Chains A and B, each alone.
Chain A
Amino acid sequence: MTPRMTKFVLAISAPLLALAAAFVITSIVLAAAGDPVLDVWKQILSMPERRNVANIIDNAMVLYLSGLAAAVGFRMNLFNIGVDGQYRIAAFTAAVVAGEAWLPGYLNTALAIICAMAVGAVWAGIAGVLRATRGVSEVISTIMLNAIATALVAYLLRKASVRVEGSNAIGTKVIPEGSRIPNISIGSGPGQEIYGFVVIVVLVGFLYWFVLNKTRFGFNLRATGRSTTAATASGINITRMVVLAMLISGAVAGLVGLPILFGDSYQYGSTFQSGLGFAGIAIALLGRNHPIGVAVGALLFAFLNEQSNPLQILVGVSPDIVAITQGTIVLTVVISYEIVRRYGVRLEQQAVAKALVPEPREPEEANA
Chain B
Amino acid sequence: MSTPATTAPPPVVAPPPTTRRIPIWAMIAAVPALLLFLAVLENVTGAHDLTSSGTIAATLVATTPIMLAGLGGLWSERSGVVNIGLEGMMILGTYGAGYFGYHYGAWAGVLGAIMMGMIGGLLHAIATVIFGVDHIISGVAINIIALGAVQYLASNTFVGLPGGGSTQSPKIPDVPTITIDSLSNKLGDIEDNDTFFISQLASLLRALCTNLSSLVLISLGLLILTWFVLWRTSFGLRLRSCGESPVAAESLGVHVLRYKFVAVLVSGGLAGLGGGVLAMVASSNYRDGQTGGRGYIGLAAMIFGNWRPGGLLVGSGLFGYTETLGLRQGGTSVHALLLAVAVLALALALNQLRHGDRLAAVVIGVVGIGLGVVYFLIDEVPGDFTRMTPYVITLIVLAFASQRLRMPAADGQIYRKGSAG
Contact across chains for B133 and A79 when beta carbons are under 8 A apart: no
CB within 8 A of B140: which of A130, A134, A282? A282
Across the two chains, which residue of chain B brings its CB closest to A25? B145
Across the two chains, which residue of chain B brings its CB closest to A282? B144
**Does residue A57 face the partner (Cβ distance < 8 Å to B)?**
no
**Does residue B255 face the partner (Cβ distance < 8 Å to A)?**
no
**Does residue A232 face the partner (Cβ distance < 8 Å to B)?**
no
**Does residue A89 face the partner (Cβ distance < 8 Å to B)?**
no
Query: Knowing A135-B402, A141-B395 touch, does A320 contact B137 (C-beta < 8 A)?
Result: no
Residues of chain B with a CB closer than 8 A to A34's CB = 156
> Which of A99-107, A151-159, A192-200 is found at the contact surface with chain B?
A151-159
Contact across chains for A151 and B387 when beta carbons are under 8 A apart: yes
Report whether over half of chain B's contact residues are helix, strand or loop; otherwise say mixed.
Answer: helix
Contact across chains for A326 and B384 when beta carbons are under 8 A apart: no
Residues of chain A with a CB closer than 8 A to B387's CB = 151
Contact across chains for B136 and A152 when beta carbons are under 8 A apart: no
- Nearest CB of A to B409, in Å: 15
Contact across chains for A326 and B137 when beta carbons are under 8 A apart: no
**Does residue B149 face the partner (Cβ distance < 8 Å to A)?**
yes
Contact across chains for B145 and A324 when beta carbons are under 8 A apart: yes
Contact across chains for A281 and B152 when beta carbons are under 8 A apart: no
Query: Knowing A33-B153, A334-B137 touch, does A323 contact B145 (C-beta < 8 A)?
Result: yes
Query: Knowing A282-B144, A330-B137, A335-B133 touch, does A148 contact B391 (C-beta < 8 A)?
Result: yes
A169 to B402 CA separation, bound complex (whole angstroms): 41
**Does residue A137 face the partner (Cβ distance < 8 Å to B)?**
yes
Contact across chains for A155 and B385 when beta carbons are under 8 A apart: yes
Residues of chain B with a CB closer than 8 A to A338's CB = 131-133
Residues of chain A with a CB closer than 8 A to B133's CB = 331, 334-335, 338
Contact across chains for A320 and B144 when beta carbons are under 8 A apart: no
A233 to B147 CA separation, bound complex (whole angstroms): 43
A146 to B395 CA separation, bound complex (whole angstroms): 12
**Does residue A187 face the partner (Cβ distance < 8 Å to B)?**
no
CB under 8 Å from chain A, chain B span 403-421: 403, 405
Chain B interface bracket (under 10, 10 to 19, 20 to 34, 35 or more): 35 or more
Residues of chain A with a CB closer than 8 A to B254's CB = none
Chain A interface bracket (under 10, 10 to 19, 20 to 34, 35 or more): 35 or more
**Does residue A17 face the partner (Cβ distance < 8 Å to B)?**
no
Query: Knowing A152-B388, A334-B134 touch, does A318 contact B151 (C-beta < 8 A)?
Result: yes
**Does residue B303 face the partner (Cβ distance < 8 Å to A)?**
yes
Contact across chains for A140 and B398 when beta carbons are under 8 A apart: yes
Contact across chains for A79 and B136 when beta carbons are under 8 A apart: yes
A95 to B311 CA separation, bound complex (whole angstroms): 43
Report whether over half of chain A's contact residues are helix, strand or loop; otherwise say mixed.
Answer: helix
A30 to B207 CA separation, bound complex (whole angstroms): 46
**Does residue B148 face the partner (Cβ distance < 8 Å to A)?**
yes
Across the two chains, which residue of chain B brings its CB closest to A339? B131
**Does residue A136 face the partner (Cβ distance < 8 Å to B)?**
yes
Residues of chain A with a CB closer than 8 A to B134's CB = 334
A134 to B142 CA separation, bound complex (whole angstroms): 29
Query: Knowing A137-B303, A144-B395, A338-B132 touch, does A322 contact B144 (C-beta < 8 A)?
Result: no
**Does residue A285 face the partner (Cβ distance < 8 Å to B)?**
yes
Query: Knowing A147-B293, A151-B384, A331-B127 touch, does A140 contact B299 (C-beta < 8 A)?
Result: yes
A328 to B138 CA separation, bound complex (whole angstroms): 10
Query: Knowing A79-B136, A318-B155 touch, does A326 contact B148 (C-beta < 8 A)?
Result: yes
Across the two chains, which residue of chain A brings its CB closest to B398? A136
Across the two chains, which residue of chain A brings its CB closest to B146? A327
Contact across chains for A331 and B148 when beta carbons are under 8 A apart: no
Contact across chains for A134 and B403 when beta carbons are under 8 A apart: yes
- Nearest CB of B to A26, in Å: 10
A315 to B387 CA separation, bound complex (whole angstroms): 41
**Does residue B143 face the partner (Cβ distance < 8 Å to A)?**
yes
Please, what's the 1-or-0 string for A20-43, where 1 marks a CB less than 8 Å from any CB in chain B?
A: 000000000100011100000000
Contact across chains for A140 and B152 when beta carbons are under 8 A apart: no
Across the two chains, which residue of chain A brings its CB closest to B407? A137
Contact across chains for B151 and A155 when beta carbons are under 8 A apart: no
**Does residue B179 face the partner (Cβ distance < 8 Å to A)?**
no
Residues of chain A with a CB closer than 8 A to B141's CB = 282, 285, 327-328, 330-331, 334
A137 to B123 CA separation, bound complex (whole angstroms): 25
**Does residue B84 face the partner (Cβ distance < 8 Å to A)?**
yes
10 A-B pairs with CB atoms under 8 Å apart are: A33-B152, A134-B400, A137-B402, A146-B293, A148-B395, A151-B385, A151-B388, A278-B143, A282-B144, A320-B152
| Leading 3 A-B pairs by shortest Cβ distance | A323-B148, A327-B145, A327-B144
Q: A285-B137, A320-B148 are in contact. List 7 more A-B contacts (CB 8 A).
A: A134-B399, A134-B403, A139-B136, A320-B149, A323-B148, A327-B143, A331-B127
Which residues in A have some Cβ–Cβ distance to B below 8 Å? 29, 33-35, 79, 130, 134-137, 139-141, 143-148, 151-152, 154-155, 158, 278, 281-282, 285, 318, 320-324, 326-328, 330-331, 334-335, 338-339
Which residues in B have some Cβ–Cβ distance to A below 8 Å? 84, 123, 127, 131-134, 136-138, 140-149, 151-153, 155-156, 166, 293, 296-297, 299-300, 303, 382, 384-385, 387-388, 391-392, 394-395, 398-400, 402-403, 405
